[in-house]
Amino acid sequence: MLSAEDTELLTRVGPGTPMGDLMRQYWIPAVYSWELEADGQPLRVRFLGEDLLAWRATDGTVAFSQALCPHRGAGLYYGRNEQDGLRCAYHGWKFDVSGQCIEMPNEPGESNFKNKVRITSYKGGEFGGLVWIYMGPRQDNPPGIPQFEWGLIPDDQRSQYRKAIYECNWMQGLEGEMDSTHIYVLHGRNREDDAAKYGLFHTGLSAKFHLRDTEYGLLYAAERKERDENIYWRTTQFLFPFYGMFPGSPSSVPLSIYVPVDDTHTLHMGLRWHPTERIPGTGRPSPELPKEPGTLVDGMGPMRPEMKGRYFSHWWPEARIETDFLMDLEAKKKNMTGIPSVRLQDEAVITSMGAIMDRTKEHLCTTDASIIKVRRKLIAAARALREFGTVPPGVDNPEWYTLRSCNVSLPPGADWEAALADWHYARTKEYPNPGVAQPSMR
């Protein structure tokens, strides 16, 4: 369990908190590039407890500006994005992407008051089909955006297929990515002989864990013995500050992102990519859920009608506590929960913990070692920044993020780190295949 003090430090992300300050050191994935149109309507967004507007200027530059005009506090959302500036609808004050006021049409022509007025405006950047926000202190010279492999390959080899608001704290989602033993329970089918479309199955629900500290976070492997005596390895990467790269496969490498909106809401995004091959589909989130009860997909299902007046207004899913996450009792005869999506199953359990889980009451076991390790790393990094000004891991090393994960069988006695290293660190484009069959019935 965590102490009440450490729980607070780990989960609270508002301005001035240790974890919020740590998060502000990093570039944060914010919106899809296609969501922002030059001179188009700004989008309401919220990060680390701050309400902002995301917008794209006439020349294509992206920015994230405070939501309220400094003149009389009117909402800039109702104004105009035009001619490289955001204009308030109330009195016409206009601000550029840096936050500088550039026009005050209700002031006398000789007035220079506009030169003295600025709004908070954070640096924006683009990489891998996403617009990113940098909220840290180095606005004039920010660090580089993390160089994930999925941003370095052609667009058709990448799929941005999940996005939704989770109504719980960000850490609850990240902890789920660090937990390899829930896979065959929460996402499992009830009978081995049933089709794999109803869920995963493995006779070994437990696993032996191998944890390795890394410069960017943590690499761990879950070891299980197969029926043919080969060893089934599932490797997972934690990358500072909120990325979980769960086990990949020959068809794609996945990544889950848990951006803190505030203390009790999380922007969850998921994507997958392949280093050499095209990923089928549109590359965008789909609202489709399976028509046959019990069949699982990996999306978030349909979104609620536009939540006007809310941040991320198009990304609030229909599946939530009030709808029991679309649980189907007929489907529950085929898999653990009857909830129609792997990610909705995850969301159901982490949301059921409460808005912020009380970690002073939990009882962690042996297979929670990776969760314990990740918590300690985050807490230590936040304290080091607060007490000594130590730059957190990866901030100034965007090249560290060119990584992959793996899901493979190896012969007994094989050194998993050596066998998978070239794949893990993107030094090869060939998926590990030492002549042993891939894990069965996954």
Mean pLDDT of 389-402: 98
Q: Alpha-carbon distance 27 to 29, whole Å?
A: 7
Q: β-strands 243-245, 253-262: how paired?
A: antiparallel
DSSP class per residue in 61-102: -EEEEESB-TTT--BGGGSEEETTEEE-TTT--EE-TTSBEE
| Fold agreement (27-134, 149-424) | no
With a cut of 90, say whether residue 423 has pLDDT above it.
Answer: yes
Q: 346 vs 214, 297, 341, CA distance in Å?
A: 26, 12, 9
Residue 316 has pLDDT above 50, yes or no: yes
Average pLDDT over residues 414-421: 95
What pLDDT digit, counting tens, does each position of 36-94 carry?
999 999 999 999 999 999 999 999 999 999 999 999 999 999 999 999 999 999 999 99
Mean pLDDT for the stretch of residues 360-380: 94
**pLDDT digits over 197-215, tens only?**
888 787 766 788 999 999 9
For residue 437, name the pLDDT band (cuts at 50, 70, 90). Answer: low
Q: Is a pLDDT exceeding 70 seen at residue 438?
A: no
28: closest CA among 161, 122, 134?
134
Return the closest-CA partner of residue 317 out of 296, 303, 330: 303
* Residues sharing a CB contact under 8 Å with residue 138, sequence separation 6 or more, in sequence order: none
Q: Count Cβ neighbours within 10 Å for each residue of 359-393 and write b for 16 or more, e otherwise.
A: beeeeeeebbebbebbbebbbebbbbbeeeeeebb
Nearest to 42 by CA among 70, 91, 75, 74: 75
**Average pLDDT for residues 401-410, to the nearest whole number?**
95
**Would you state the structure tokens that stand for residue 390, as one six-digit string?**
């130590």
pLDDT of residue 244: 97
Give the chain's mean pLDDT: 94
Look at residue 442 in the predicted model and tell me its pLDDT. 39
What is the pLDDT, as a whole number, of residue 435? Answer: 60
Structure tokens at 27: 């570039």
pTM (2 d.p.): 0.95
173 φ, ψ to 5°? Answer: -70, -45
167 burial (CB, 10 Å; 0-12 / 13-18 / 19+) is middle
pLDDT band, very low/low/confident/very high, at 352 (cuts 50, 70, 90): very high
Residues in Cβ contact with 145 at an 8 Å cutoff, skipping those fewer than 6 apart: 27, 125, 127, 132, 151, 398
Q: Is the pLDDT of residue 237 over 70?
A: yes
Task: Name residue 378's amino acid.
Answer: L
pLDDT, residue 439, reads: 56
The string of pLDDT tens digits covering residues 91-101 is 999 999 999 99
Give the right CATH number for 27-134 from 2.102.10.10, 3.30.300.30, 2.40.37.10, 3.20.20.10.
Answer: 2.102.10.10
Q: Determine contact, residues 140/41, Cβ cutoff 8 Å.
A: no
CATH 3.90.380.10 assigned to 149-424: yes
Per-residue pLDDT tens over the stretch 256-307: 999 999 999 999 999 999 999 999 988 999 888 988 888 888 889 999 999 9
pLDDT for the residue 204? 67
Distance (Å, rounded) from C-alpha 244 to C-alpha 272?
Answer: 12
Domain positions in the chain are: 27-134, 149-424
What pLDDT is attached to residue 196?
87
Please compute the mean of the pLDDT values over residues 338-350 and round it to a whole number.
Answer: 93
